[in-house]
């Protein structure tokens, strides 16, 4: 049963002025009654910026020769995990450029397994390491990863091929199949899109929301598109909405999705903070309930610039922890420490 039609979604996404304020207010009330004024944390580890792909929007794309490639050592990963526990972050998110050689996939298996063991199974682990075979996804699940984030980027096939090279490595259907495989394997699965892409319309965005609903995902991470100078998509940067419009569009997407899928986990993406200093707070007030403070050792952060001017690049994990506490208190939200913060959309289904 869908309480909202596609036209309703388009109306929400087009709202202005008072209607726009009311939309966010309604979403905040739905979140309060379903989840509470709470935010869960995922300590983010940007494991490696080595990537076999060439997504036309991404600063970490294989074709970008202007960055140094790195991979954290095992010890660095375990230090991040220890820090997460010390700071009371109940869950980790391990993100990486996409690689599908067994040296990489086996390494992730080992890191997941050892981290779970080291934390006595107290840390939750979300992986975000791109498209993989069913076998690899199963191997990582068996090692202890229980959540997986794979953004579809856009659910519109035509737009997908405008922002990706048209070749077998960037196949739209393969990505959809990968999401389905993750769901079938039992992962708490998340997806998401970028908002404010060149050539993207309100109708595309409404269809993205329906795509999330049809797949019945447990988590969504979506954020504004930020053009990167060293990428092919930069040539269209004059076609993207201005900062204020993109921020509002992002908040409308978050608020509308909270109405559509009241129980899911939704990230207040760091990219929001690139647009506005209080961008993440605004996202939380529009219905988001997850924040991903960065744990990556500082010397690597500048090499993981998927988009320019990323927030917190110069800040130490301790600073972010302290900063977030203040930021959430300022908007009357409580940070929940030492819990996995599973999506109710998943736990109530299981």
Per-residue x/- track, 265-304, ligand FES (CB under 6 A): ----------------------------x-----------
Q: Is 98 in the site for ligand SF4 (CB under 6 A)?
A: yes
Q: Which is nearer to ligand SF4, 26 or 52 (CB)?
A: 52
**Would you say 189 and 221 are in contact if contact means Cβ atoms under 8 Å apart?**
no
- 107 three-state secondary structure: helix
Long-range pairs, 297-302, Cβ under 8 A, ≥24:
297/72, 297/76, 297/79, 297/80, 300/46, 300/49, 300/70, 300/72, 301/46
Q: Pick what 307 binds: ligand 5AD, ligand SF4, ligand FES, none; C-beta below 5 to 8 Å, kind-dependent.
A: ligand 5AD
Burial class (CB in 10 A: 0-12, 13-18, 19+), 26: middle
Tokens of 101: 């050689």
Regarding 320 and contact with ligand FES (CB under 6 A), the answer is yes
Smallest distance, ligand SF4 to C-beta of residue 224, A: 15
- The entry of ligand 5AD, ligand FES, ligand SF4, none near residue 323 (CB within 5 to 8 angstroms by kind) is ligand FES
Among 43, 90, 130, 198, binds ligand SF4 (CB under 6 A): 130
* Partner in contact with 212, chosen from ligand SF4, ligand 5AD, ligand FES, none, beta carbon below 5 to 8 Å by kind: none
Residue 152 interacting with ligand SF4 (CB under 6 A): no
Q: Which is nearer to ligand SF4, 95 or 289 (CB)?
A: 95
Q: Provide Rg for the chain, Cα atoms.
A: 19
- Residue 112 touches which of ligand FES, ligand SF4, ligand 5AD, none (Cβ within 5-8 Å per kind): none
> What is the dihedral sign for C-alpha 281, 209, 263, 90?
negative
Reduce the secondary structure of 183-195 to three states and give it as a string.
HHHCCEEEECEEE
Site mask for ligand SF4 (CB under 6 A), range 288-327, x = bound: ------------------x---------------------
Rounded Cα–Cα distance for residues 95 and 147 (Å)? 12
Estimate the share of the chain in helix, then strand, then coil, as percent rounded to the nearest 5: 50, 15, 40
**Which tokens is 25 given?**
């207010």
Binder of ligand 5AD out of 42, 151, 310, 333 (CB under 6 A): 151
Tell me, residue by residue from 47 to 66, as one string, x for binding to ligand SF4 by CB under 6 A and - for no binding: ----x-x-x--x-xx-----
Using CB under 6 A as the binding rule, the residues of this chain from 155 to 194 that contact ligand 5AD are 194
Q: Does 306 bind ligand 5AD (CB under 6 A)?
A: yes
């Amino acid at each position: 049963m869908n309480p909202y039609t596609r036209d309703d979604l388009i109306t929400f996404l087009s709202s202005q002025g008072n209607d726009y304020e009311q939309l966010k207010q309604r979403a905040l009330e739905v979140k309060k009654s379903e989840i509470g004024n709470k935010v869960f944390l995922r300590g983010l580890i940007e494991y490696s910026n080595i990537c076999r792909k060439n997504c036309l929007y991404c600063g970490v794309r294989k074709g970008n020769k202007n960055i140094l490639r790195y991979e954290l050592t095992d010890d660095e990963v375990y230090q991040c995990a220890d820090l997460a526990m010390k700071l009371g972050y109940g869950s980790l998110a391990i993100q990486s450029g996409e690689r599908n050689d067994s040296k990489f996939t086996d390494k992730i298996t080992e890191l997941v397994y050892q981290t779970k063991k080291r934390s006595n199974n107290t840390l939750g682990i979300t992986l975000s390491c791109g498209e993989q075979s069913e076998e690899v996804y199963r191997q990582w699940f068996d090692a202890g990863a229980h959540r997986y984030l794979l953004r579809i980027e856009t659910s519109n096939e035509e737009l997908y091929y405008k922002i990706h090279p048209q070749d077998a490595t960037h196949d739209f259907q393969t990505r959809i199949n990968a999401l389905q495989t993750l769901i079938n394997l039992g992962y708490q699965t998340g997806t998401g899109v970028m908002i404010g892409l060149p050539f993207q319309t309100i109708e595309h965005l409404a269809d993205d929301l329906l795509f999330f609903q049809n797949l019945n995902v447990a988590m969504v991470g979506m954020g504004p598109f930020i053009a990167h100078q060293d990428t092919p998509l930069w040539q269209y940067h004059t076609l993207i909405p201005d900062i204020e419009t993109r921020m509002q569009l992002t908040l409308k997407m978050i608020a509308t999705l909270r109405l559509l899928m009241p129980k899911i986990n939704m990230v207040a993406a760091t990219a929001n903070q690139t647009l506005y200093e209080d961008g993440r707070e605004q996202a939380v007030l529009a219905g988001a309930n997850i924040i991903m403070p960065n744990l990556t050792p500082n010397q690597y952060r500048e090499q993981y610039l998927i988009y320019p001017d990323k927030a917190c690049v110069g800040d130490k994990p301790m600073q972010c922890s302290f900063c977030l506490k203040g930021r959430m208190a300022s908007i009357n939200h409580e940070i929940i420490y030492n819990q996995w913060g599973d999506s109710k959309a998943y736990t109530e289904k299981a």
